[in-house]
């Protein structure tokens, strides 16, 4: 993310009416992603297909995964 995008995200988060428990949840989740091990390619693919919902259940799931993986190249 660019600095501008991060600043916009920070401003958005500051504007939310979050309870103390919500803030703790957000902080823990932000920190946990930076401290976890790097996921293997198979783990990333598995997580992606879980989030893809009905796309993951189709016969074209591998094609869809590859398309999304390389969409910026």
**Cα–Cα distance measured from residue 73 to residue 71, given in angstroms and rounded to the nearest whole number:** 6
pLDDT score of 59 more than 70:
no
The DSSP secondary-structure symbol of 20 reads: H
Residues 6-58 pLDDT 10s:
888 888 888 988 888 888 888 888 777 555 556 677 777 777 777 766 555 66
What percentage of the chain's residues is helix, strand, coil (to nearest 5)? 75, 0, 25
Provide the residue ranges of all domains of the chain, joining segments of one domain with +.
3-35, 40-73
| pTM for this predicted structure | 0.39
Which single residue is written with the structure tokens 């198979």?
42
In sequence order, what are the residues at sequence separation of 6 or more whose Cβ sits closer than 8 angstroms to the Cβ of residue 69? 48
pLDDT number for residue 36: 54
pLDDT number for residue 3: 85
């Amino acid at each position: 993310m660019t600095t501008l995008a991060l600043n916009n995200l920070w401003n958005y988060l500051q504007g939310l009416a979050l309870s103390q428990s919500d803030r703790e949840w957000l902080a823990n989740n932000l920190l946990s992603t930076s401290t976890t091990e790097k996921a293997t390619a198979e783990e990333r693919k598995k997580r992606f297909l879980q989030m893809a919902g009905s796309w993951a259940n189709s016969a074209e799931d591998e094609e869809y995964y590859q398309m999304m993986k390389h969409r910026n190249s």
